[in-house]
Amino acid sequence: MAEDSIRDELVLGAVNTFKTSYSTHFEENFNVDGSPASVDLEKIFNAPQDYISDIVGYSKYCYRKHGIIMRVVNIIRDFGACGFDLSYPTKAKKIEEVITAYNKKVDLDQLIKDMIFELALTGNLACYDRDGERVDIYPISQIKVIPLIKNNKQMIAYKTPINTISYDTFNKQIDTLIESAYPKEITEARKKNLEYGILDTNKSYFAKINASQYESYGISVILPAFEDLSHKSLLKEAEKSTANDIIDKIMLVQVGDKDNKPNKDLIKQYDSLFNGISGSVRVTAPYYVDIKWVEPETNIFGEEKFVEIDTDILNTLGVSLTLIRGEGGGNYAEGMLNFTGLTRTIEGIRLQIPNIIEGLYRSELERNGLNPDHSPIFSFKEVVIDKEAKLNLVKELFTTAGLPYQVLYEQFGMDFDYIKLIREDENTNKVDETFKVRSLPFQGQNGDNQNNTEGQETQPQDKGGAPKKTSSERKTDKTASNNDAPRTGAKGRT
């Protein structure tokens, strides 16, 4: 019984059990879900409004760390800033001159890109009008949303810089620069040692996406992909750690067999044989002692696993893998379906930007002594991910699926009502007869006899070759048989 208990305890061998550097590395740096140890995704998912700073910080981290996220956000920014139209309610030339000069001064094209980028990456946008000279975009980590609406606009406050304690020359210069760089609301709050300075609602603008009206902050489009991104980070880290050889080899020592049962002291003797020894080792042991290295499988993951995760991330964000990597094929219809999700995402992100631009225009007109009610209406142009694919799809649907004429013309940027009036006028005036195709010399006579005037006898088309005989010519031809007349014999008998 004693021997059996020893055997059960030692299982005919002993492995020096210890926590490897591989497992220690991941326990210290990653959570179970694969996210960094400093991030608790479950808390973020359960109460995003309470952890908005963590969401924004992790979104920026993913943007810098994962190329696929950087490309998606950049694609949203670039395709979202596809141009805009201004509709002026009045034809006053002065209004248009002021707005054109303002657009150039603040670099409106780049400003729109920055706005879309901030909304896509953080889910929030805080702007401030610097008296028409430029438009500041503030980091959402410095903004506190006040649950009050004034003049139909959301009130926001900016976190004031920390006051310097020392009053040496250098710090006084910094104070002077801060006062000239920040809006006066912030500098005044700083002088009063207030934590936040409430921004003027006539100059500040705030927008959010993916949030209800009663929620203070918006949510980034990247948030649903956080878990897949963490999974990918964990796999990448495992691959990296394998390459860096932090997976330890295991020294397996098996002592004895069924004919040479080991005792406890012998097990301990071989268990301590290699303690503190590294490098090349020479070992001399009896034949019944089996000593060997056990190496974990180093080829952990294949390419397919990473492609699968990338596809999951892109599906979550509504972006086609074809658009990101240029892979895949399919017809134009499939391509358009792949782009639909991204188009809807872009349209949702930039939905509130026109209101901000129009507010900036109104303020600029007031500064120039003009009526702000004459401010132009701002609208984005249609989001077109792949123009060629779209137009080819439209033509295909018109040919094979009966797409209406109006949709066909509008998708090609034409005014259907104008085209329809022209066509009706052409039909009334028989313009097609005026512009009928000419008969060219090498074509001979027109087979449709378009050159004949009405009432004239139609002549057969001359196709060349030997002349053809008419019916009357055949009857007078003596060499031709006439089956209609009775045959006569040599003596004239019938």
- Positive or negative, the Cα torsion across 272, 278, 283, 286? positive
- In the structure, what pLDDT confidence band is assigned to residue 345 with cuts at 50, 70 and 90? confident
Please determine, for residue 12, whether its predicted confidence score (pLDDT) is greater than 50. Answer: no
What does the DSSP assignment read for 59-112?
Answer: HHHHHHH-HHHHHHHHHHHHHH-S-EEEE-SS--HHHHHHHHHHHHHHTHHHHH
Position 328 scores a pLDDT of: 43
Position 244 scores a pLDDT of: 54
- Span 452-487, pLDDT tens digits: 444 445 455 555 556 666 655 555 555 555 555 555
**Range picked from 255-264, 273-282, 346-355 for highest mean pLDDT:** 346-355
pTM of the model: 0.62
Strands, DSSP E only, in 225-319?
A: 250-255, 289-294
What φ, ψ does residue 55 adopt, rounded to 5°?
Answer: -65, -45
Average model confidence (pLDDT) across the chain: 76
Longest dimension (CA), the chain: 153
Position 356 scores a pLDDT of: 96
- C-alpha to C-alpha distance for 321 and 223, rounded to whole angstroms: 19
Cβ 102 vs Cβ 361: under 8 Å: yes
Exposure string of 389-409, with b = 16+ CB inside 10 Å and e = fewer, is: bbebbbeebbeeeebeeeebb
Packing angle of the helix pair 108-122, 52-65 (nearest 10 deg): 110
Position 228 scores a pLDDT of: 81
More confident residue, 442 or 413: 413
Cβ 255 vs Cβ 289: under 8 Å: yes
Length of the chain: 494
Position 71 scores a pLDDT of: 85
Average pLDDT over residues 79-86: 90
- C-alpha to C-alpha distance for 16 and 271, rounded to whole angstroms: 7
User: Quick one: residue 34, left, alpha or beta (phi over 0 = left, psi -120 to 50 = alpha)?
Assistant: left
| Stretch among 10-14, 146-150, 283-287, 294-298 having the lowest mean pLDDT | 10-14
- C-alpha to C-alpha distance for 71 and 323, rounded to whole angstroms: 10
Strand ordering across the sheet containing 135-138: 135-138, 124-129, 204-208
**Range picked from 341-345, 417-421, 452-456 for highest mean pLDDT:** 417-421
Position 298 scores a pLDDT of: 53
Position 232 scores a pLDDT of: 77
More confident residue, 489 or 347: 347
Cβ 377 vs Cβ 87: under 8 Å: yes
